[in-house]
């Protein structure tokens, strides 16, 4: 496991590699962001942006999604995985926003996770990006990078990864660290072919050293 000095080195290196890392889901308000993040489960941001380009022109408010049959929403997001359950959750979520929150997206993680289709990760992303609340959302990239580097243990659950990162990363860096780790995982430390030979963190990385031995 990495010590605090080594973790600091990891954070600084990722900052140098991806100084402009930020959320890649296109949106113009908190409501669009919630819908986009909900759609992004087990799906690439690229595909979500392709779908929401038309979706957000057609549906502007929670009322708009409820003014059409479920089948129509399904049809509009059909190219996205799990589109049936996502369409159902979108309509449920919109109903809750209208009934309980005057059609507005709530700002706290505690309220956000009560919405249909919104788990911890989605709540953290929305709180961080839409409302500037320090958060570390643990997606597949953040989890993989944390475990490979040895910031977290292999057996840690997503919640344990989140808690460990919140403990070891300064609070004011939580949100930007989330984005940098995603970029590091998406473009460098990939699931199948991590770029270990050219990685500036190789000397610290238990997984990278193991992989390099196999190559050698």
10 annotated as a binding-site residue:
no
* Topology annotation, domain 4-21+136-215: Endonuclease Iii, domain 2 (1.10.1670)
Mean pLDDT of 68-90: 97
189 annotated as a binding-site residue:
yes
User: CATH top-level class for 30-131?
Assistant: mainly alpha
pLDDT at 31: 98
The model's confidence at residue 33, banded by pLDDT at 50, 70 and 90, is very high
Dist CA 17 CA 7 (whole Å): 15
Mean pLDDT of 55-73: 98
Residue of 60, 139, 156, 210 marked catalytic: 139
What is the reported pTM?
0.89
pLDDT at 97: 98
Sequence ranges of the domains in the chain: 4-21+136-215, 30-131
Contact criterion met (CB below 8 Å) for 105 and 34: yes
The model's confidence at residue 215, banded by pLDDT at 50, 70 and 90, is confident
Domains 4-21+136-215 and 30-131 share a fold: no
60 labelled catalytic: no
99 labelled catalytic: no
196 annotated as a binding-site residue:
yes
Dist CA 189 CA 186 (whole Å): 7
pLDDT over threshold 80, residue 129: yes
Residue of 86, 109, 121, 168 marked catalytic: 121
pLDDT at 216: 67
The model's confidence at residue 104, banded by pLDDT at 50, 70 and 90, is very high
Tens digits of residue pLDDT in 151-187: 999 999 999 999 999 999 999 999 999 999 999 999 9
Coil/strand/helix, residue 117: coil
Contact criterion met (CB below 8 Å) for 210 and 199: no
């Amino acid at each position: 496991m990495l010590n605090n000095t080594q973790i600091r080195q990891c954070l600084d290196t990722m900052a140098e590699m991806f100084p402009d890392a930020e959320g890649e889901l296109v949106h113009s308000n908190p409501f669009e962001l919630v819908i986009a993040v909900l759609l992004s489960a087990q799906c690439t941001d690229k595909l979500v942006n392709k779908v929401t380009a038309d979706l957000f022109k057609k549906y502007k408010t929670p009322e708009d999604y409820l003014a059409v049959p479920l089948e129509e929403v399904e049809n509009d997001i059909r190219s996205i995985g799990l589109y049936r359950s996502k369409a159902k959750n979108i309509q449920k979520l919109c109903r809750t926003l209208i009934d309980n929150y005057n059609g507005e997206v709530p700002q706290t993680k505690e309220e956000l996770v009560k919405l249909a289709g919104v788990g911890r990760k989605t709540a953290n992303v929305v709180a961080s990006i839409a409302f500037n609340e320090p958060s570390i959302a643990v997606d597949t990239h953040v989890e993989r990078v944390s475990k490979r580097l040895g910031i977290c243990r292999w057996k840690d659950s997503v919640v344990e990864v989140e808690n460990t990162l919140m403990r070891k990363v300064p609070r004011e860096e939580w949100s930007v660290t989330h984005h940098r780790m995603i970029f590091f995982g998406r473009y460098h430390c990939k699931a199948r072919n991590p770029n270990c030979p050219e990685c500036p963190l190789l000397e610290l990385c238990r997984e990278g050293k193991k992989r390099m031995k196999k190559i050698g």
